[in-house]
């Protein structure tokens, strides 16, 4: 039974990575948790009598639950997102933390000259906490519902940040489809914690030195380093694939490094920690 449940979870993750179903499906599947108790009860009642019958019941129930969850997810009306923003107010730098569970996550940059530190929309409504220390801002954006897959279907958070001030950015996300484009932002430090997700990350193009750490679980990850930006890449991966464009970043010992990393103004010092992940860096 445990093996079948793991197979079912693997199939769901595969379908989500392929874009067949939405990451918000976890919020619906969680509501079917009593089915696990039902299957355990059936297994106890029929123990030693008909193992093939137990197997058949388990397969039918798991397929039925997944099919029902997909139908519910696809029949839902689009969620209505709430807007949020935070003015710059003379800020000269900011620490920003974004925490988001299951769904779609989009992070990007605001147009030059925008009066705000952040603008965006979120469903459900985003909890926003802001304080000012001298002229440095500390901003926290958090989904107002449960983390990981305890939320609802249709979760989405879009946050666009100011390119005018240096940023220290922390992103924590669970079962999500995350599109993070930092090309035009001045990110000096990036910390990303990614669960069972699909992540597309573009690093800054003109931020000086960026220290970045990406910690991923069961994820499919694509990281782009803009042309003209040097990089030092240190992999710390467990199971999975790790592919790097060695034409730009030749391998040196246990890491990859641009030949001009020590002398280039715009550079990225990137550490990638991976569980069961497929990671591609170019």
Whether residues 32 and 114 share a domain: the answer is no
pLDDT for residue 149: 39
Whether residues 227 and 96 share a domain: the answer is yes
Whether residues 116 and 9 share a domain: the answer is no
Last residue of a domain, one of 54, 75, 96: 75
pLDDT for residue 197: 76
How many distinct structural domains can be found in the chain? 2
Whether residues 150 and 47 share a domain: the answer is no
pLDDT for residue 148: 39
Tokens of 63: 């397929």
CA 62 distance to own-chain centroid: 27
Last residue of a domain, one of 44, 75, 106: 75
Whether residues 134 and 152 share a domain: the answer is yes
Last residue of a domain, one of 35, 60, 75: 75
Which regions in the chain score pLDDT beneath 70?
Answer: 1, 19, 22-24, 26-27, 75-80, 144-154
pLDDT for residue 157: 92
pLDDT for residue 80: 65
Q: What is the pTM of this model?
A: 0.74
Q: Which domain holds residue 24?
A: 2-75
Bridge partners (DSSP) listed for residue 272? 214, 235
Whether residues 88 and 64 share a domain: the answer is no
CA 183 distance to own-chain centroid: 18
Q: How far apart are CA 277 and CA 13, in angstroms?
A: 12
Tokens of 27: 């919020």
User: Tens of pLDDT along 12-66?
Assistant: 777 777 767 766 676 677 778 788 888 888 888 877 777 778 788 888 888 888 8
Whether residues 55 and 104 share a domain: the answer is no
Whether residues 97 and 64 share a domain: the answer is no
pLDDT for residue 257: 97
**Which of 187, 209, 48 has its CA nearest to residue 108?**
187
pLDDT for residue 39: 82
Strand ranges in 101-219 using DSSP code E only, listed in sequence order: 103-109, 116-123, 126-133, 136-143, 156-161, 166-173, 176-181, 186-194, 198-202, 209-216
Q: How far apart are CA 121 and CA 208, in angstroms?
A: 29
Whether residues 59 and 88 share a domain: the answer is no
pLDDT for residue 105: 92
* Inter-CA distances, 106 with 103, 198, 209, Å: 10, 12, 23
Whether residues 176 and 52 share a domain: the answer is no
Tokens of 232: 């030092």
Whether residues 263 and 156 share a domain: the answer is yes
Whether residues 137 and 157 share a domain: the answer is yes
């Amino acid at each position: 039974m445990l093996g079948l449940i793991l197979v079912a979870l693997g199939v769901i993750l595969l379908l989500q990575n392929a874009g067949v179903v939405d990451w918000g499906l976890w919020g619906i599947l969680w509501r079917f948790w009593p089915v696990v108790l039902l299957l355990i009860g059936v297994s106890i009642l029929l123990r030693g009598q008909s193992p093939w019958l137990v197997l058949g019941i388990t397969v039918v129930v798991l397929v039925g639950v997944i099919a029902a969850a997909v139908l519910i997810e696809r029949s839902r009306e689009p969620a209505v997102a709430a807007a949020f923003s935070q003015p710059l107010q003379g800020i000269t730098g900011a620490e920003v933390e974004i925490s988001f569970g299951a769904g779609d996550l989009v992070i990007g940059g605001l147009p030059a000259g925008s009066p705000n530190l952040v603008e965006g929309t979120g469903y459900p409504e985003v909890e926003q906490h802001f304080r000012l220390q001298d002229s440095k801002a500390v901003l926290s954006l958090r989904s107002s519902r449960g983390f990981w897959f305890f939320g609802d279907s249709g979760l989405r958070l879009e946050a666009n940040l100011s390119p005018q001030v240096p940023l220290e950015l922390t992103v924590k996300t669970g079962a999500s489809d995350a599109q993070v484009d930092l090309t035009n932002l001045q990110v000096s430090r990036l910390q990303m914690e990614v669960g069972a997700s699909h992540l597309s990350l573009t690093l800054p193009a003109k931020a000086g030195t960026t220290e970045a750490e990406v910690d991923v679980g069961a994820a499919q990850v694509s990281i782009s380093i803009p042309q003209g930006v040097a990089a030092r890449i240190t992999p710390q991966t467990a199971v999975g694939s790790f592919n790097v464009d060695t034409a730009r970043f030749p391998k040196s010992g246990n890491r990859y490094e641009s030949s001009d990393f020590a002398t280039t103004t715009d550079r990225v010092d990137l550490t990638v920690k991976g569980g069961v992940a497929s990671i591609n860096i170019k």
